[in-house]
Amino acid sequence: FSQMFSLIFLLLFLQLYLLVTCQDGRDCYSQMEQSFYKDGDIEIAAFLHIYTYDVPRIERSFIKYRRFRWFQSKNYQYVLALVFAIEEINKNPYLLPNMTLGFGLYNVMHSHMTVMENPFIWLVGVEKHVPNYTCRKQSKSVAVISESSIAVQMGTLLELYKIPQLTLGPFEPLLSDSGQFPSLYQLAPKDTSLAHGMASLMLHFGWTWVGLAISDLPKGVQFMSDLKVELQKNGICVDFVELIPATVESLSSFQSTFHIQILKSSANVVILFCVNESLIGASFQSWGQLMTWKAWVTTSQWDFASSEKHFLLHSFHGTLIFSHQHSEISGFKNFLQRANPSKYPEDSYLSRFWSLAFNCSVTGTSCKTLQNCPLNASLESLPPHHFDTSMSDGSYNIHNAVYAVAHSIHEMLLQEVEMQPVNNGAKVAFSPWQLHPFLKNLQFTNPAGDLVNLNHRKNWEAEYDILNFWDFPYGFGRKVKSEQLSLSENLIEWATGITETPHSVCSMSCSPGFRKTPLEGKPVCCFVCTPCPENEISNQTDMDQCVKCPDLQYANTERDQCFYKKLTFLSFEDPLGMTLVCTALCFSVLTAIVLGVFLKHRDTPIVKANNRCLSYILLITLIFCFLCSLLFIGHPNTTTCVLQQTTFGVVFTMAVSTVLAKTITVLLAFNFTAPGRRMRHWLISGVPNSIIPICSLIQLALCAIWLGTSPPFVDTDAHSEHGHIILVCNKGSVTAFYCVLGYLGSLALASFTVAFLARNLPDKFNEAKFLTFSMLVFCSVWVTFLPVYHSTKGKVMVAVEVFSILASSAGLLGCIFVPKCYIILFRPEKNAFKGFRDRIFSKDTDVLKCSS
């Protein structure tokens, strides 16, 4: 009993305290609960969020106490837009003639506990909430105007009465369900292009690393999904995503994590999208003195410019705001200039706002008498963060909503007049649900010249203006409109402390010549720059892959451009070509000189030894060997390509076969001088000399088969030398080429073997040792040629083959004929027969002369 008595006493004391307080203290704060009415023949009910209370009310049967806290100046502009539109229509003789429009204005809280309170009062007529019961007279309201967030909650209730509901925005996809809300019409355009517009803005400034703060309501989640798709499509990555809670209870945890996330993030740009303005405002209002120095991108739904906290304006200085594009309603600013409490004394909201804005004192029982106000006080004189005279998106839509109702009523009345005559001037009575056929098909041009359509299926995509918020000293904020998306960046003010366009990237851009290499486990916007491989380029920034240059082009050293390759070959003007030509000509002249020396001293023993006719043939063949190297130099064509290998094969076959013949001659000559003379008939019959045509014919046959099956042709080599296309002779059949070389090698090996066997024969003029050494040099050159030839490309490959021709020919010339020339020219005393050789080799039996 004592505990119960204590509880009852506490409740009685609290009620008495509140009763006394409210009796004397129910000043103009609490009296603002009264609605704002303007009588008319037909009325429109407007449910708007104009002011906010600190705490839910403590309600008993005889006590109501509420403490006024925040006045939404932005939303109060909706009220003035409503009044302005109704006054325009009432003055228009062509729209609803002989009929006046009125309205009833009701404040609605965004709280779940109080959002349905005033709609119930409006429907029932008393503050005691009794559904399906009304104690008021016949209502003259034919339509309801509200914000989308309010319509979501009270739309189902009003749907029971089939009352037309028009929302001023923002566009809510949930309300587009004609099955659930058949009596609801949205004036705001669809925001489906907002995600694309924000992604385009990110691309314009090169922002590829951003953060997201999105409302966790269905509309916010859908926008986040659409935005992520657009960002990913354009190569923009998201560093973090924070969902703004839809309930007041979750705000505290959101504030702490969101602040920490912003401070830790390397993204310098944050996209902010919130469906419920009051919740996001409550979140950021609690930041205190935190400065983030970020670039913010948001929508006009959150009007932070009206904040009274200067630090908040300072933090959001430079914010880019997406606002629906619409024409200006002429006369609206002049209407705002003339609006004041004396003109609208029944408007308690305007009186309260006037007292707050201009520090006026409120007196009188009605709380509508103002004193000590400035003489020149007007809404136009207020700074924009207190009251912005520019028509907002919501004011524009509420203006269109009033005109939509007026036009639909006008069309309906015209139709009824045509169907039945006017009953002695009596006013036509109708029910609100009768407006639906006219509203569904309504399409009209508003006073600004814009086309308005209430069919959400035919509703146009929104077009946007991008506003730039500037925070001037002393908390004076202002929005500045930019010209389309091609922004004038020099006119944009960025966040405090930033003097140029901010950068927001995870990795710096890769310049031309580099490609992006993704980092494992990181978003695609985080990468390292890797130089392009050889002969590949990237001529743009941030290329994912390098592009290979065409075969006829090459990449420059910076790897950012392809240039056409120069056509080149081993020419006579080339230093290497010129050196080889001079070398070939010098050896040819030298060989001709040796031939001349041998002809002059043809009767000397050293020339006559080993068949001087073979020596003449070998020297002449060596001249052609040196000269055939010139076919490999110069501009290739079909003729030179065919002659290169065939001439080389045949001429060198003749040279090697001549050496073989000389070697066999030495061997037969020794056997001829030995006892028995068994080889005499071979020498006399000229068997050694027949080796040359036989071996040459075999090589000619191989070359003929080569030319008949796959002859050499002119080809290009675009890869061997950087920046050049080399003209070369393609051998056609590699097999035929190696057959020619193999046959030539087999002859050289046979000559080397025979010469090696005859190297120690007892003959003063025996040249078997010189032939052995010459074949050793010849084979060494061509054995070395094979690996070197295959390891080189382009002009060097041709030069290697030419060098091998010259080296092997020079080896034959030097090893065979230089010692003999030395004896002929410098040691003539050794060039004579003595002893038994004079008796053996008489003039009549000289088998070594050419006639034999």
Per-residue pLDDT tens over the stretch 702-740: 999 998 888 888 888 877 777 888 888 888 888 888 888
Mean pLDDT (whole number) for 540-562: 89
Query: Is 837 a residue whose pLDDT tops 70?
Result: no
CA atoms of 213 and 231, how far apart (whole Å): 15
Give the pLDDT mean for 102-125.
Answer: 77
Instruction: Give the chain's largest Cα–Cα span.
Output: 170
Q: Among 266-280, 391-405, 531-545, 645-659, whose mean pLDDT is lowest?
A: 266-280
Secondary structure, 3-state, 348-404: HHHHHHHHHHHCCEEECCCCCEEECCCCCCCHHHCCCCCCCCCCCHHHHHHHHHHHH
Output the pLDDT for position 444.
Answer: 92
pLDDT of 583: 93
Is 674 a residue whose pLDDT tops 50? no
Q: Which pLDDT does position 401 carry in this prediction?
A: 95
352, HSE (Cβ side, Cα atoms, 13 Å): 22
Tell me the torsion sign for CA atoms 110, 116, 119, 125: negative
Q: d(Cα 84, Cα 395) in Å, to the nearest integer?
A: 10
315 falls in which pLDDT band (50, 70, 90)?
Answer: low
| Beta carbons of 712 and 644 less than 8 angstroms apart | yes
Beta bridge partners of 471: 477
Q: Domains, the chain, ranges and CATH? A: 33-56+65-190+341-414+431-453 (3.40.50.2300), 193-328+462-491 (3.40.50.2300), 514-564 (no CATH), 575-826 (1.20.1070.10)
- Residues 163, 435: Cα–Cα separation, whole Å: 9
Q: What is the pLDDT of residue 3?
A: 47
- Cis check for the bond before 374: say yes or no (omega within 30 of 0): no
Partnered with residue 443 across adjacent β-strands are: 453
Q: How many Cα atoms are found within 13 Å in the side-chain-facing hemisphere of 52?
A: 13
Q: Are 341 and 350 in contact (CB under 8 A)?
A: yes
Q: Which two tokens stand for residue 619?
A: 């020297």
Cα-based torsion angle of the residue sequence 80, 83, 88, 92 in order, rounded to the nearest 10 degrees: 180
Nearest one of 789, 788, 798, 807 to 574, comparing CA atoms: 798
Instruction: Give the per-residue pLDDT at 720.
Output: 75
Q: Output the pLDDT for position 65.
A: 36
Which element (helix H / strand E) includes 104?
Answer: strand 101-107
> What's the rounded Cα separation, in Å, for the pair 462 and 299?
13
Report the C-alpha gap between 848 and 807 in whole angstroms.
Answer: 30
Helix (H, G, I), strand (E, B) or coil at 815: helix
Residue 531 near residue 537, CB atoms below 8 Å: no
> pLDDT tens for residues 572-631?
888 888 999 999 999 999 999 999 988 888 888 878 766 788 889 989 999 999 999 899
- 3-state secondary structure string across 106-146: EECCCCCCCCCHHHHHHHHCCCCCCCCCCCCCCCCEEEEEE
Query: Which pLDDT band holds residue 430 (cuts at 50, 70, 90)?
Result: confident
Between 45-49, 335-339, 680-684, the lowest mean confidence (pLDDT) is in: 680-684
Supply 762's token pair.
């007892």
Q: How far apart are CA 377 and CA 350, in angstroms?
A: 13
Distance separating alpha carbons of residues 59 and 25, to the nearest angstrom: 16
Average pLDDT over residues 375-386: 83
**Per the omega criterion (within 30 degrees of 0), is the bond before 693 cis?**
no
pLDDT of res. 833: 56
CA distance 658 to 622: 11
* pLDDT at residue 4, as a whole number: 52
Over 90: is that where the pLDDT of 84 sits?
yes
Residues making up the chain, counted from first to last: 852
**Where is pLDDT greater, at 419 or 328?**
328
Tens-place pLDDT, residues 506-538: 888 889 999 999 888 888 888 999 999 988 999
Of residues 643 and 722, more confidence is placed in 643
Tell me the pTM. 0.62
Sequence-distant (6+) residues with CB within 8 A of 330 are 447, 448
Question: Among 358, 363, 359, which residue's Cα sits nearest to residue 383?
Answer: 358
Percent of the chain whose pLDDT exceeds 70 = 73
pLDDT at residue 404, rounded to an integer: 95
Average pLDDT over residues 418-427: 62
CA angle 439, 220, 213 (to 5 degrees): 145
Pairing of strands 451-453, 443-445: antiparallel
State both tokens at 561: 């451009």
Candidates 405, 399, 345, 408; CA nearest to 44 is: 405
With bands split at pLDDT 50, 70 and 90, how would you rate the model's confidence at 249? low
Question: Which string of DSSP letters, residue by residue, matches 411-447?
Answer: HHHHHHHHHS---TTPPPP--GGGGHHHHHT-EEE-T
CA 125 centroid distance within chain? 62
User: Confidence class of residue 372 from pLDDT cuts 50, 70 and 90?
Assistant: confident
Alpha carbons within 13 angstroms on the beta-carbon side of residue 506 total 22
The answer to whether 804 touches 783, Cβ cutoff 8 Å, is no
